[in-house]
Structure 1
């Protein structure tokens, strides 16, 4: 049962604010303002209902037994707090989300390892500004100009070569 009084927010707003995207800052500010307004409204009311002076009412009301009946019913009345039926679903969602996060982290670590291998390969190669044409042909044989095996005409782009066919020409020869 939720019978304790919350005097101040126990939520870590600073940690949430660090994670909020700049485009969502206005929504974050509105949420925090609503939360603070609700907390102030709850704090404005006393924690428990005020104590009634039953003797004062006995002196003022002349009907015998009426005040005693009210007192007995007032003290017997307990305001029921709603049962929290959603906490099990919320905890299940939290566990599912934690599993998804762990899976994502594992996949990310695998991708990072692959990327680090790619970076290591690139770093092991000669820098482009220090590379000679022979180095370039050794590293990228399919992209380099090969005047012996595949001679080309200047400016060495596909459109200027003798065997070049445009998209339209390729489409007509394929049919």
Structure 2
């Protein structure tokens, strides 16, 4: 197995991680990424297999008889076991991913349902409510009961939150007599 395969199987999607990182933690994330890439580069620089040992050379140079053969047997018998998941983390992660995908699919279905209901409601409103130019004050109060309306001042505009529809100053009205003064 090559070194690239060893490391690439545990690669991090840095672009996606950056999208989900808060702005105040961006420097810390860049630091972690730099350290991780340094370690990956070090691992990739190492050979994938154990280096071959010239046992014949050591047999000639080591004066103790049988020592090199003993080391050779122990070296060849020694196997580093691949770490196993003894605490069940893989199953836990798979279970969480399954739950998250179920929650996501339910949320998407609910959002689709709400979107369709809102669109049908808007179509109903478009069919039933006449154009704004044809509204009467009674229709305004009926369709939008929370609208600011001053019966004493019919010139008061119906949408005070928009800058182009602000209340025009009425010189005939005494100050503090409009609906806004009662709020």
Question: What are the equivalent positions in structure 2 for 1:66-81 lying under 5 Å apart?
Answer: 66-81=67-82
SS in 1 for 2:8: coil
Is the CA contact (8 Å cut-off) linking 2:3 and 2:48 kept in structure 1? no
Alpha carbons of structure 1 residues 22 and 88: separation in structure 2 relative to 1, 3 Å: closer
Residue 98, structure 1, aligned to residue 97, structure 2 = no
- 2:8 counterpart residue number: 9
- Cα distance in 2 for partners of 1:104, 1:69 equals 64
Question: Unaligned regions of 5+ residues in structure 2, if any?
Answer: 154-176
The residue that corresponds to 1:157 in the other structure is 179
Q: CA 1:159/1:83 → structure 2, altered by over 3 Å: closer, same or farther?
A: same
Higher relative contact order (CA 8 A, sep 6+): 1
Aligned residues: 153
Structure 1 residues 115, 90: CA separation in 2 closer, same or farther (over 3 Å shift)? same
Q: Which residue of 1 aligns with 2:130?
A: 126
TM-score, normalized by length of structure 2?
Answer: 0.63
Whether contact under 8 Å (1:9, 1:39) holds in the other structure is: no
How is 1:1-175 mapped onto 2 (pairs within 5 angstroms)?
A: 4-7=1-4, 9=8, 11=11, 13=13, 16=16, 19-20=19-20, 23=23, 26=27, 29-85=30-86, 86-124=89-127, 125-128=129-132, 130-133=133-136, 136-137=139-140, 140=143, 142=145, 152-154=151-153, 157=179
Specify the alignment match of 1:148 in structure 2: none
Residue by residue over 1:118-160, the C-alpha shift from the partner in whole angstroms, topping out at 9 and shown as x without a partner, is 33234333343x233268359628579xxxxxxx534773977
In structure 2, relative to structure 1, the CA distance for the partners of 1:92 and 1:126 (3 Å cut) is: same
1: CA distance, partners of 2:27 / 2:63: 60
- For the aligned residue pairs, the C-alpha RMSD in angstroms reads 3.6
User: 2 CA distance for matches of 1:27 and 1:91?
Assistant: 28
CA 96–126 in structure 1, closer or farther in 2 if over 3 Å, else same: same
Q: TM-score with structure 1 length normalisation?
A: 0.66
Q: What are the ranges of 5 or more consecutive residues in structure 1 without an aligned counterpart?
A: 145-151, 161-165, 167-175
